[in-house]
Chains A and B, each alone.
Chain A
Amino acid sequence: MILTPEEWGIVVLSLKVSLVAMGLTLPVAYALAWLLARRRFPGRMLLDAAVHLPLVIPPVVTGWLLLILFGRNGPVGAWLYDWFGITLVFRWTGAALAAAVMALPLMVRAMRLSIEAVDRRLVAAARTLGASRGRAFWTITLPLSLPGILAGAVLGFARSIGEFGATITFVSNIPGETRTLPLAIYSGLQVPGTEMVVARLALISVALSFAALLVSEWLVRRKGGGHVL
Chain B
Amino acid sequence: MSFELRLKHRIGEVEISLDTACEAPLTALVGPSGIGKTTVLNCIAGLIRPDEGRIAVGARVLFDRAEGIDLKPEQRRGGYVFQSGRLFPHMNVAANLAYGEKLAPAEERWITREEVLTFLGIGHLLQRAPETLSGGEVRRVAIGRALLSAPKFLLLDEPLTSLDAERAEEILRVVERIRDELKLPILYVSHEMREVERLTGSVIRLG
* A interface residues with partner B (beta carbon < 8 Å): 119, 121-122, 124-132, 135, 139-140, 143-144
Contact = CB atoms under 8 A, between A and B. Distances in A.
Contact of A130 (B77, B88, B90): B77
A129 B46 contact: no
B74 A132 contact: yes
A129 B47 contact: no
Contact of A144 (B47, B74, B90): B90
A220 B206 CA distance: 44
B145 interface: yes
A127 B90 contact: no
Interface residues of B, number: 24
A24 B76 CA distance: 39
Given A130-B100, A130-B104, A122 B86 contact: yes
A124 B88 CA distance: 11
Given A125-B80, A126-B99, A131 B86 contact: no
Contacts of A126: 88, 99
Contacts of A143: 90
Interface string B75-89: 011111010101011
A121 B38 CA distance: 13
B90 A129 contact: no
B28 interface: no
B90 A128 contact: no
B43 interface: no
Interface string B19-49: 0000000000000000000000000011100
B149 interface: yes
Given A144-B89, A144-B90, A127 B72 contact: yes
A127 B74 CA distance: 5
21 contacts: A119-B86, A121-B82, A121-B84, A124-B45, A124-B73, A125-B80, A125-B82, A125-B88, A126-B88, A128-B73, A128-B74, A128-B76, A128-B78, A128-B80, A128-B146, A129-B99, A129-B145, A130-B103, A132-B74, A143-B90, A144-B90
Contacts of A139: 99
Contacts of A135: 103
Nearest to B105: A130
B149 A130 contact: yes
Q: Which of A122, A125, A128 has the most CB of B within 10 A?
A: A128
